[in-house]
Amino acid sequence: MKRVFARAVLAVALVAAVAGPAAQGGGKTPLSPLASVDVVGSGPLAWRSVAVRRFPDRSARVITTFTQFREHFRPRMVLALETRRDADGHPAWYRVEIPGRPNGRSGWIPAASVDLTPVDRWLVVYRGSRKFEFYVDGRLKRTGPVAVGARGMETPIGLFYVQARFVPSQYPILGAFAFETSGYSKLSDWPGGGVVGVHGTNTPWLIGQAVSHGCVRLRNSDVLALRRYVRLGTPVKVVRA
C-alpha cells in the first residue's frame, strides 16, 4: 500500500514538473505595472519626410523632422504613444517618441504618415536587479541576467524602441548580435558613442554587474534567442527596480 501511495505521489510530481512553465518562460504571467508596456503601435514612416510638432495641429511649432530613411538607408521606425482622433473617430494624429538627447521627448505627426501595427512583444530591463524579461502576447518568453551601465554612466530609465538590428562583426565587444535602441546614455560602447544598445558580449564573466558605458549586455545565448523575436519597432522599457 505504501509503495502504491509513493508511486502516485511521484507521478503527480512528474506531471506538475512537466506542466509547469519552462525555465526560460512561456507560461502566462500576471503582468505587473513595471512589466507592462502601454503603446499604440509601431511601424515605418510612410512619407518621405514629416514634421514632428509640439501639438496635434499643423500650425503648431515643429520640434524636429523625421525622414523616411536614416543613415545607410535604414528605414525610419516610429513608436506611437498616443492617438488623437478626428470627428469620425479615425486616427488623425499620433504622439511619437523622438529618439535622441534628452531622452523622453515626444511630438505629434499625422496618422497618415506612418504604417502602424499593434505591438505584441516587448523587452523589459530591470536595471537594479540586472535582469531582462521578454514578452510575446503578454506571456513571458525569456528571461536572464544582464550587465548595465556603471556608476556615472548608468543605463537610462525610460521607454525606448529598437531602431536597428545587426551582426556586429567589426565590433567584438557587442558579442553575437546587437539591437540599436532609440535611447541615449552619457557615453556607450556603441559605434559612434551615446546610443544605448542591447547586445551580446565578449566578456561573459561581467554579466550581472554594472560595468558598461550605458548599454545593456546579454549572454550571447540570450541575445541570439531574442534575435528570432525582436523586430524593428519593438519597445524596450528600462526600469529602476
CA atoms within 13 A on the CB side of 230: 27
Q: Which residues contact 158 (CB under 8 A, 6 or more apart)?
A: 103, 104, 183, 237, 238
The full length of the chain comes to 241
Query: Is residue 215 annotated as part of the catalytic site, yes or no?
Result: yes
Identify the CA nearest to 179 among candidates 159, 158, 200, 194. Answer: 200
Query: Is residue 199 annotated as part of the catalytic site, yes or no?
Result: yes
**Rounded distance, CA 109 to CA 138, Å?**
28
**Rounded distance, CA 40 to CA 68, Å?**
20
| DSSP, res 233 | T
In this structure, which amino acid lies at residue 20?
A: G
The three cell numbers locating residue 157: 530609465
Query: Which is catalytic among the residues 72, 90, 213, 215?
Result: 215
**Rounded distance, CA 177 to CA 61, Å?**
39
Backbone φ and ψ for 59, nearest 5 degrees, come out as -95, -5
In this structure, which amino acid lies at residue 211?
A: V
Q: Is 208 left (phi over 0), alpha (psi -120 to 50) or beta?
A: left
Query: Which is catalytic among the residues 72, 90, 199, 213?
Result: 199
**Rounded distance, CA 205 to CA 202, Å?**
9
Q: Which residues are identified as catalytic?
A: 199, 215
